[in-house]
Amino acid sequence: MSSLFQNSYYLAINFNAILYGVELVLYGMTMNALVKNRKKWTRTDKFYMWFSTALLFLITIYMSTEAVFGEEMWIVHQDTPGGPIQFLIDNADIWYQTMGTTASVILNLFSDALLIYRMYVVWTSYYVIMFPCFLYVATIGLGIIELYASGKPNADFFVGTAAQLGVAYYTTTISLNIIATGVICGRLMYLGRALEAARNTQGRGKGVVRYTGTLSIVIESALPYSMAGFAFLVAYGIESDISILFGALYGMFTCVSPQLIVLRVVTGQGWTKDQTAQSVSALEFENLGTSRSAAATTAIETAAQSEGTSTMDHKSIGSAHDMV
């Protein structure tokens, strides 16, 4: 471990603190929205309340253990023979670091489960989520193995067998993140065009334009979560000392991105099955209208070509054009 690792670790702790503050604000806004409508609570609202609280609890454990380890390494045990780096090597398997890693893995499982559910919401098809569900089951097994390998005596999360298993685990879970993000982004852009077409042609869809903007797609697809995960996976895979920084960002977005989705849902701005059904209906309506218009135009052109022998005169052709 070099000085670059120590600098990256220091920056990671600071970014953890900043993003933890963001999470506290988002959690407060979510709870405020739920409390205001407590007389109309549904089972879904109660689930999101407990889900948000669990996210906050787990991310608190994760960022606290990282901060405490930094304090122990740089301040409390600064005079350890070999310096902070030797302290890190000797105590990488300390119990509270294992607890922090466990909280991170559980948080990852929560976030991935929400992403899979959001994939189902925008597609309303079980076939779309079959492969992500397979990856999800694989992450559970790999996550348990990784926790054992990194938490046993003399183990190090960044070195040896634990690091190799870590690459397998993070490759699987981040692949799931990227697939889910891509599928949700593509679906929302596709449905967004249908809503926009309905709004322009029939005046429908005006109330759901807020669901199709760039910001809504970024939040709904958890794009920051996947991007941070990809950056961490690359750095971790090549055993770069900067991986600890990207790992911290990935860990925090594991909480922040799902919390943003929950906030949009409880405030009535998140994509729902109703919006999906409305978008599909609008798209079918648009396609039906296009087909009818194309058929009428073809009939008119055929009639015009046979003008000499047809009973349709120029006036009737003009009327047909007006009808289209």
Helical ranges in 152-242 per DSSP H: 160-202, 214-220, 223-237
pLDDT score, position 43: 84
The mean pLDDT value for 302-316 works out to 41
HSE-CB of 178 using CA atoms within 13 angstroms = 13
Q: Does residue 222 sit in helix, strand or coil?
A: coil
pLDDT beyond 70 at 51: yes
Residue type present at position 286: E
- pLDDT tens string 100-137: 989 999 999 999 999 999 999 888 888 999 999 999 99
HSE-CB of 202 using CA atoms within 13 angstroms = 12
Residue type present at position 317: I
Residue type present at position 202: Q
Residue carrying the six token digits 């090549």: 238
| CA dihedral over 289, 292, 298, 304, signed as positive or negative | negative
pLDDT score, position 23: 96
- pLDDT tens string 56-107: 999 999 999 999 998 888 888 888 887 888 888 788 778 888 899 899 999 9
The mean pLDDT value for 301-318 works out to 41
pLDDT score, position 111: 94
Which has the closest alpha carbon to 170: 233, 116, 107, 111?
233
Average pLDDT, the chain: 80
- Residue 94 has what DSSP assignment? -
- Residue 324 has what DSSP assignment? -
CA 157 remoteness from chain centre? 25
Provide the 10 A C-beta neighbour count for residue 67.
Answer: 17
Bridge-partner residues for 159, per DSSP?
156
pTM of the predicted protein model: 0.80
